[in-house]
Amino acid sequence: MKRLSIMTALLVLAAGCGDEASDGGGGGGGEGTGAGGGGGEVADPYEHLYACDDAGFAEAKPLSGPGYDPMTGFTGTAKATYVVSATQIFVKPEKQDAFFQQAGKVAVQLGETPGLVAFALGGDTACGDSRTMAVWESEDALYEFVGSGAHVTAMQMAPDLGFTGRTTHWNATGEEVKALTWEKAHEKLAAIESGY
Residue 40 lies in a domain: no
**What value does the mean pLDDT of the chain take?**
80
**pLDDT in the model for residue 39:** 53
Residue 71 lies in a domain: yes
Number of structural domains in the chain: 1
The segments of the chain whose pLDDT lies below 50 read 1-38
Q: Domain range spanning residue 62?
A: 2-26+56-190
Residue 33 lies in a domain: no
Q: Is 65 helix (H, G, I), strand (E, B) or coil?
A: strand
| CATH for 124 | 3.30.70.100
**pLDDT in the model for residue 20:** 38
Residue 106 lies in a domain: yes
**pLDDT in the model for residue 153:** 95
pTM greater than 0.85 (yes/no): no
Residue 148 lies in a domain: yes
Q: Identify residue 189 by its one-letter amino acid code.
A: L
Buried b (16+ CB within 10 A) or exposed e, 25-47: ebbbbeeeeeeeeeeeeeeeebe
Residue 162 to residue 90: CA distance in whole angstroms = 5
For residue 168, give the H/E element and its range: strand 162-173
Residue 72 to residue 110: CA distance in whole angstroms = 22
Residue 39 lies in a domain: no
Residue 188 to residue 193: CA distance in whole angstroms = 11
Residue 86 lies in a domain: yes
